[in-house]
Structure 1
Amino acid sequence: MSGQLVITQKLRNDGKINDDIYLNITQLITKYKYCVEVYEVITPDGYIIKIFRIPGNGAIVFLMHGIISSADDWISGGVESGLAYLLAQLGYDVWMGNARGNKHSRSNIYMDPSEKKFWDFSFHEIGMIDVPTMIDFVLEKTNKSSLIYIGHSQGTTAFFIMCSLRPEYNKKITLMISLSPIAWLSHMKSPVKTLKLFYGELVFLASSLGVVELPVIYNHFPSGSSFKQIQHFAQLVLSGDFRQFDYKVKNIEKYGSLTPPSYPVEKITAPVAIFYGEGDWLSDVSDAQILKSRLPNLVEFYRVEDDHFSHFDFIYAADTKNLLLANILRLIKKIH
């Protein structure tokens, strides 16, 4: 089925337990005969963030996950459809980032996760601090001046924030590929059900495929986030704008205005390609078109050739290789 979610079942075909459900990201990558390197970077405000790398001799591809997710997203679909594996097979130097607060980045040199202030962040800080810190580390480690950025969901949001408010990072991006972009959200399908759908869609799809035991992806998703991130997304839905966090009465003190400032995506000069799905309940086509109209260097606005392609299909679809990879490679080859 096109756009079908990949599920690795607890029981293998021979009736034995599938060991993959007990393996973490590095163990899975190693099991399937790929090299893996793990690095830790410390952000200016003290968060310790892990980055995973499947080294290659080709161009650098930096992968950034969505909300309540982690680097695991890019490999938990399996070797036949996980984007990190598919890119590594072709020789690309694949780096997988993480956002503060998820299971790979749940520590800070100044405070403990049990403290409320540890969780006082939104995707604004991820875009302004975490992603730039990781990109700088990757470029310094590889002695390169730029990289290809592929983001999914919140991974695109963080990019748009970074390159609009820290414009010096535009020159560090050879190409940005936005899978299910999240910026404007006013046309979202069923916004009231959004929180349930983040997890519920996976449960529903798994059930509809006859999976009754725990699949591998449930060991890797969800991976944690702050409540403030969810609040911020909800604010975007209600405001109809892509803007900074609304502190209500504290906006004057914080921003010098009654309302939060909008993110100036018009300042993003890095080349951006948008991939969207007609069945995406979170990133609606109408909202993607608003983003499209404001990006000065849009190189492609691509509709995935599947009428039902949804938000999580960008990560877990069984036919990633045909529906996504071929077009991603086509764009990369245009640049390189």
Structure 2
Amino acid sequence: MTAASLNHIVAILAVLLLHTQQLRSQSGEEYMNTCDIIRLRGYECTEHTVITKDKYILTMHRLSPKQCGEMKKPGRPIILQHGLLQSSIHWVINYANQSLGFLLANAGYDVWLGNIRGNIYSKGHTSLSPYLKEYWNFTFDQMAEYDLPAMVEYVLQVTNHSSLDYVGHSQGTLIGFACFSEKPDWARQKIRSFHAFAPVAYVGHTKTVLRLLRPFFQLVNWMLKHSHYEILPNTDGVKWVARKICKGKTVPICEKVLHKLGGYEPRNVNATRLSIYLSHYPAGTSTLNIAHFGQLIKTNKMQKFDYGTKGNLLRYNQTFPPQYHPERSRVPTALYWGANDVLSVEKDVRRLINITHSELGLYRYENTEHVDFMWGLNMIDAAYAQLMRVLSKLPAR
């Protein structure tokens, strides 16, 4: 090989390396995972595997500041649980001074980010492949019965604490209300406080696009119940669309879609990061879970999944699905909601207020939408700051 040929090869490799670096720079956070984002901000991240009693394999992300000098003992553990079609990444998707996960870590808390079954980080099972129909035979009933207790027990075991604090958003609050009301004694012992962001228990008055399906409920419910597969997964196609469409002049299109799907207020969000938000949303769930939400909208009840008369008899020993009773929870609770929320509508939140033990406070925010509690910059000095104040006043346990 001549010197000229060698120089030519080196030049080509240099160009390829530069091109690769440019692609990485262009893709950036759109293609990063939760730990990538956390480390990018200068924090430490560790992945933890949690196996539920029904053998689903979940991933939790533990966030902590980088240690400088003498090792500090971790503070009180706190679990942040995402909403429907989201993942752990949404608690850290903004900058370090804007995301709740980082703010809590800075305040000394031992932050654990949960991922429920079926999302991009929790598609494991000890014997079932996510390519099998049987894997997707779940709704938020199983998340409340198995996922949340498993994550709580795991965190308490690893941290050697007797109790922890729990923050849920949207579906994260729903599985909290369901779990804590079904296991009141266990929850009172293990959960020091419950903070419900954009609380969901009753959704009969939702104004999202899901409400438009009500006239076709029977058909849609039948289709979803008999498909038993994943719906709205997070794929490279999702990321490509987010990068190509949700930037520049076409941003308003993405904003309108977001508003119809789950509530979005453009003035509260960093529009330059919209493509990043939507690269990680949706993050997948089961068709049965979506059908379950449809049932809640149709009946305006907080109830377990309706399998039909025969299915209910087999599963519940009665012809209709049992209802959940949030009022049975004994966990000290605080509710935080937006006056403009189209999913967690204020009328439904008020119904929840009337029956829950919200002894830690009721906090209403004007001009606030559903996803603001995860992405909104307006939450830094509002719900996030209020959460910090409430936590700081709680008795040690």
Q: Same fold (TM over 0.5)?
A: yes
Following superposition, the deviation at residue 107 of structure 1 comes to 1.5
Unaligned runs of 5+ in 1: 1-15
- Which residue of 2 is the match for residue 292 of structure 1? 353
**SS of 1:296's equivalent?**
coil
> Counterparts of 1:127-276 in structure 2 under 5 Å?
127-167=144-184, 168-190=186-208, 191-193=210-212, 215-249=275-309, 250-276=311-337
Q: Against the structure 1 CA distance between its residues 22 and 296, is the aligned structure 2 distance closer, same or farther, given a 3 Å change threshold?
A: closer
Q: Which structure's CA Rg is the greater one? A: 2
Deviations 1:254-289 (A, max 9, x none): 222222111122210000100010110000111111
Mapped pair 1:106 → 2:108? no
> Which is worse superposed, 148-157 or 208-217?
208-217
Structure-2 separation of matches of 1:148 and 1:286? 27
Structure-1 separation of matches of 2:375 and 2:168? 14
Following superposition, the deviation at residue 135 of structure 1 comes to 0.4
**SS of 2:118's equivalent?**
coil
Amino acid of the structure 2 residue aligned with 1:173: I
Following superposition, the deviation at residue 323 of structure 1 comes to 1.5
Structure-2 separation of matches of 1:86 and 1:136? 24
Structure-1 separation of matches of 2:301 and 2:263? 31
Q: Which has the higher contact order (CA 8 A, sep 6+)?
A: 1
Amino acid of the structure 2 residue aligned with 1:331: V
Structure-2 separation of matches of 1:97 and 1:136? 13
Q: Against the structure 1 CA distance between its residues 209 and 90, is the aligned structure 2 distance closer, same or farther, given a 3 Å change threshold?
A: closer
Mapped pair 1:38 → 2:57? no
Q: Name the TM-score, length of structure 2 as normaliser.
A: 0.75
Q: Against the structure 1 CA distance between its residues 37 and 164, is the aligned structure 2 distance closer, same or farther, given a 3 Å change threshold?
A: same
- Which residue of 2 is the match for residue 123 of structure 1? 140
Structure-2 separation of matches of 1:209 and 1:270? 32
Structure-2 separation of matches of 1:330 and 1:211? 29
Mapped pair 1:52 → 2:69? no
**What do you get for the CA RMSD once the two structures are aligned?**
2.5
**SS of 2:105's equivalent?**
helix
- Which residue of 1 is the match for residue 243 of structure 2? none
Match of 1:329 among 385, 388, 392: 388
Q: Against the structure 1 CA distance between its residues 32 and 252, is the aligned structure 2 distance closer, same or farther, given a 3 Å change threshold?
A: same
Q: Name the TM-score, length of structure 1 as normaliser.
A: 0.88
> Which is worse superposed, 108-117 or 214-223?
214-223
- Which residue of 2 is the match for residue 5 of structure 1? none
Deviations 1:195-248 (A, max 9, x none): 996685589867998969972222221111011111111111111111111111
Mapped pair 1:76 → 2:135? no
**SS of 2:198's equivalent?**
strand
Structure-2 separation of matches of 1:54 and 1:146? 18
Structure-2 separation of matches of 1:301 and 1:318? 21
> Which is worse superposed, 186-195 or 203-212?
203-212
More helix by share: 2
Unaligned runs of 5+ in 2: 1-24, 66-73, 214-231, 233-255
Q: Alignment length, in residue pairs?
A: 319
Following superposition, the deviation at residue 19 of structure 1 comes to 2.5
Q: Against the structure 1 CA distance between its residues 235 and 298, is the aligned structure 2 distance closer, same or farther, given a 3 Å change threshold?
A: farther
Deviations 1:15-49 (A, max 9, x none): x7362223221111111110111100111111111
Is the contact between residue 273 and residue 300 of structure 1 (CA under 8 Å) also seen in structure 2? yes
Is the contact between residue 340 and residue 368 of structure 2 (CA under 8 Å) also seen in structure 1? yes
Following superposition, the deviation at residue 77 of structure 1 comes to 2.3
